[in-house]
C-alpha cells in the first residue's frame, strides 16, 4: 500500500498545488488557509527518496553508487539537478556588487579568461579587505 505522500504525488502528477486545510489530529482542530509546501516537499517522490537516501548515507557518493547501482557521474548529475531545485540554501555567499563570486572566478579560470595567479590575487584581496 502506497503512503499518503506517494498517493498525493501520483494524483497531482507533478502539477503545482497548495494545501488549504490542515487537521491537527491530537487536538481535533483544523486550520484553513493557503499553505505552500516546503521546498523538499515540492520535489518528486523519487527525488525525495534520493535525498533521504543521501542523508542516510551521510553524503557518501560511494554508498549512493552501491545503493542505487549507478555510477559516480550519475549520482553527481542527479544531486546537481536536485540542488538547482532547492535554491533556498546559499552555499556560497553572494558576490559583492562589481566583484564576481568565487565560483565565477573558478569558471573564468576554467575557460582560460583568468590565470591561477589572477584568481589567487582576487581571492586574497577579498580576505585582506575583511
pLDDT attached to residue 1: 39
36 in Cβ contact with 44 (< 8 Å): no
60 in Cβ contact with 74 (< 8 Å): no
Report d(CA 64, CA 39) in Å as an integer: 22
Q: Which CATH class is domain 4-85?
A: mainly alpha
Q: Per the structure block, which three cell numbers stand in for 127?
A: 580576505
Domain layout of the chain by residue ranges: 4-85, 94-130
**Which is more confidently placed, 21 or 105?**
21
pLDDT tens figures, 55-79: 999 999 999 999 999 999 999 999 9
Report d(CA 36, CA 22) in Å as an integer: 12
At 1, which helix (H) or strand (E)? none
DSSP 65-84: HHHHT--HHHHHHHHHHHHH
Cβ-proximal residues to 39 (8 Å cutoff; 6+ apart), any chain: 85, 86, 88
Lowest mean pLDDT among 4-8, 11-15, 18-22, 104-108: 4-8
What confidence tier does 91 reach under pLDDT thresholds 50, 70, 90? low
Report d(CA 83, CA 106) in Å as an integer: 19
Give me the chain's average pLDDT, please.
Answer: 83
Averaged pLDDT, 34-39:
85
Amino acid at each position: 500500500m502506497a503512503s499518503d505522500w506517494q498517493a498525493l504525488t501520483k494524483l497531482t502528477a507533478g502539477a503545482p498545488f497548495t494545501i488549504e486545510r490542515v487537521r491537527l489530529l491530537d487536538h481535533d482542530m483544523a486550520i484553513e488557509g493557503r499553505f505552500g509546501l516546503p521546498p523538499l516537499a515540492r520535489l518528486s517522490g523519487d527525488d525525495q527518496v534520493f535525498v533521504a537516501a543521501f542523508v542516510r548515507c551521510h553524503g557518501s557518493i560511494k554508498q549512493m553508487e552501491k545503493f542505487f547501482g549507478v555510477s559516480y557521474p550519475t549520482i553527481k548529475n542527479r544531486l546537481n539537478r536536485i540542488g538547482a531545485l532547492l535554491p533556498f540554501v546559499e552555499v556560497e555567499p553572494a558576490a559583492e556588487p562589481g566583484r564576481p563570486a568565487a565560483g565565477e572566478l573558478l569558471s573564468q579560470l576554467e575557460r582560460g579568461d583568468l590565470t591561477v595567479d589572477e584568481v589567487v590575487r582576487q581571492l586574497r584581496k577579498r580576505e585582506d579587505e575583511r
